[in-house]
Structures are given as C-alpha cells and as structure tokens.
C-alpha cells in the first residue's frame, strides 16, 4: 500500500507535467522553457501556486495575479494520472509491468485532452508511445493470444521470450493501424473528404504495441461505438452540422484504450 500511495503522489506530479504538454505541444512550444505562466496575464506561476490539486483548490480555480479562470482540466488530469498510477502499482506491485502501464496510461490521458481541446494528437505522444511500447515488450512479456495465433497461422513460431513478445507487440501495432488507415482511405475516396486523421492511426498503433492485437481491436470497437453514439448525441443537442463538424475521435479512442488497459490486468 505504501508503494501505491507513493505512486499516487508521483502520478499527481506527472499529471502536472502532462498539463504543460497538453497546452504547449499543439502550439509547437517547448515544455521546458519558459516556466509555467498564466495564459491570460503571462505572469510566472510561483511554485506554491503550482502544487497538484492543492493549489487549484486554494486559489478557487483562479489566477492569483489576474483572477482569470483556470481550466478544470488541470486538476482532472492530475487526479486521473494519480489514480491510474495508484491502481497499477496496487494491483501489479512495484514492478516493471506497473511502470509499463503507468507510462502507457499517462500518455493516453494527455492524448485524450489534446484531441478534445485542439483536435491534435502530437507525434511526441503517439510515435513516442509506439516506440516505448515496443521497448517495454522486450522486458515485459506481452501475453496476447490473438497476436500469437496470427503469427502461428503465418507459420511464425517463436520460443517463449523477448523475441516472441516483441513480435506480438509489432503485430498488435501494425495490423489495426493498417486496418484503420484503410478505412480512412476508403472514406476519403467515397465521400471526397477526410474522415480520419493519421494521428488516430498512430494512436491505435501505440495501443497495439502496449496491449497487443486484442487490446487494439477492443479499443477500435469501443472507441467507434462510443464516438458514434455520444458524438451523434452531441451534434443533435448542439445543432451542429454533421457534415462539417470534426469529431475528436482520438478522445474516444484514448478513453477506450484506458478501459482496455484496466481490463487487461
């Protein structure tokens, strides 16, 4: 339990950094310099006003200098990341497998909100996450029967170990991404407008690298269903034009991937 509580605190700190990434990466800004500042008045935020969760509550969700409202996204991202870290360390222990899932879900949290706010899925997270997932597969065995069955059908048999795990992660990343890209390409040819961004394809590839073929397929199915139902409901409720409204599909995929990660353990 002590390790899980420490993971929660560490997750809050990582969540605070993710908020910086969510705001700056879509704007092509450095996440290192300058120091955190208020977007409204540009005043540098003091360290005591940058304590995860606590500062937001103390300040009442407002900038100390100019009184501008601070987005609720900041404490939500911090709390979500902290709870995810707590859960995986509690269930998996202080292990490399727990670290793998903490890294994976932290990136998903950031992707959910960057797409929701800016309709962008930064390569730093998607492609970086893809590489991280493949690297973790070398050290943390990927137990995905779907990938292994497909490899067996293709005549590829590998002994238990890092090579088999890495091959499963590669299959999990490649096939769902190709399938999703193909669906987007077909939509473009039939409707003559883009219906799917490459960021969504990269996101699915990242999920497959971490969770394998089964996790990536679950993400695509659950994300598509949620996007269709909730997206349609939002469009109807707000009176937006369904022909032109850009649905943040990556947000739905990211939430579905979080669900898949929780079910995976």
Q: On the CB side of 116, how many CA atoms lie within 13 Å of its CA?
A: 15
Q: Measured between alpha carbons, how far apart are the two ends of the chain, in Å?
A: 18
Range 164-176 average pLDDT? 91
- For the ranges 23-27, 89-93, 243-247, the one whose mean pLDDT is highest: 89-93
pLDDT at 88: 97
pLDDT at 146: 84
Mean pLDDT, the chain, integer:
88
Asked if 115 and 251 touch (Cβ cutoff 8 Å), the reply is yes
| Domain spans of the chain, in order of start | 1-93, 95-265
CB contact set of 117 (below 8 Å; sequence gap of 6+): 22, 26, 73
pLDDT at residue 109 tops 70? yes
pLDDT at 104: 97
Bigger pLDDT: 61 or 82?
A: 82
pLDDT in tens, 234-251: 777 776 766 667 778 899
Range 158-183 average pLDDT? 87
pLDDT in tens, 7-16: 999 999 999 9
Asked if 110 and 206 touch (Cβ cutoff 8 Å), the reply is no
pLDDT at 77: 97
* Of the listed ranges 47-61, 113-127, 163-177, 251-265, the one predicted with least confidence: 47-61
Confidence band of 97 (pLDDT split at 50, 70, 90): very high
pLDDT at residue 19 tops 90? yes
pLDDT at 215: 94
Range 249-256 average pLDDT? 93
Integer angstrom CA distances of residue 78 from 54, 67, 89, 91, 147? 11, 21, 17, 20, 34
Describe the crossing of helices 2-24 and 96-118 by its angle, rounded to 10 degrees.
30
242 exposure class (CB count in 10 Å sphere: 0-12, 13-18, 19+): exposed
Closest by CA to 238, choosing from 226, 230, 228, 227, is 230
Q: What is the 3-state secondary structure (H, E, C) of 7-52?
A: HHHHHHHHHHHHHHHHHHHHHCCCCCCCCCECCCCCCECCHHHCCC
Query: Does the predicted TM-score (pTM) go above 0.85?
Result: yes
pLDDT at residue 122 tops 80? yes
Residues in the chain: 265
Confidence band of 34 (pLDDT split at 50, 70, 90): confident
Range 150-167 average pLDDT? 81
pLDDT at 192: 63
pLDDT in tens, 179-191: 888 877 776 777 6
131 exposure class (CB count in 10 Å sphere: 0-12, 13-18, 19+): exposed
pLDDT in tens, 204-233: 999 999 999 999 999 999 998 988 888 778
């Amino acid at each position: 339990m002590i390790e899980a509580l420490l993971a929660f605190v560490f997750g809050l700190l990582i969540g605070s950094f993710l908020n910086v990434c969510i705001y700056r990466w879509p704007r092509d800004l450095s996440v290192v310099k300058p120091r955190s500042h208020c977007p409204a008045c540009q005043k540098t935020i003091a360290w005591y006003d940058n304590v995860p969760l606590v500062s937001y509550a103390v300040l009442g969700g407002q900038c100390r200098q100019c009184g501008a409202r601070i987005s609720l996204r900041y404490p939500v991202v911090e709390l979500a990341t902290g709870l995810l870290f707590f859960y995986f360390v509690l269930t998996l222990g202080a292990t490399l497998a727990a670290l793998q899932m903490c890294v994976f879900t932290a990136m998903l949290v950031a992707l959910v909100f960057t797409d929701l706010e800016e309709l962008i899925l930064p390569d730093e997270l998607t492609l970086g996450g893809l590489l991280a997932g493949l690297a973790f597969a070398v050290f943390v065995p990927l137990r995905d029967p779907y990938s292994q069955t497909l490899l067996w059908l293709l005549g590829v048999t590998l002994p238990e170990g890092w090579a088999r795990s890495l091959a499963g992660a590669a299959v999990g990343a490649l096939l769902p991404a190709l399938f999703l890209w193909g669906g987007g390409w077909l939509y473009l040819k039939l409707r003559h407008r883009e219906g799917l961004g490459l960021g969504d394809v990269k996101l699915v590839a990242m999920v497959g690298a971490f969770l394998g073929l089964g996790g990536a397929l679950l993400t695509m199915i659950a994300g598509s269903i949620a996007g269709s139902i909730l997206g349609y409901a939002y469009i109807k409720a707000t009176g937006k034009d369904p022909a032109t409204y850009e649905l943040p599909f990556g947000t739905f995929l990211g939430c579905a991937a979080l669900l898949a990660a929780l079910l995976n353990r």
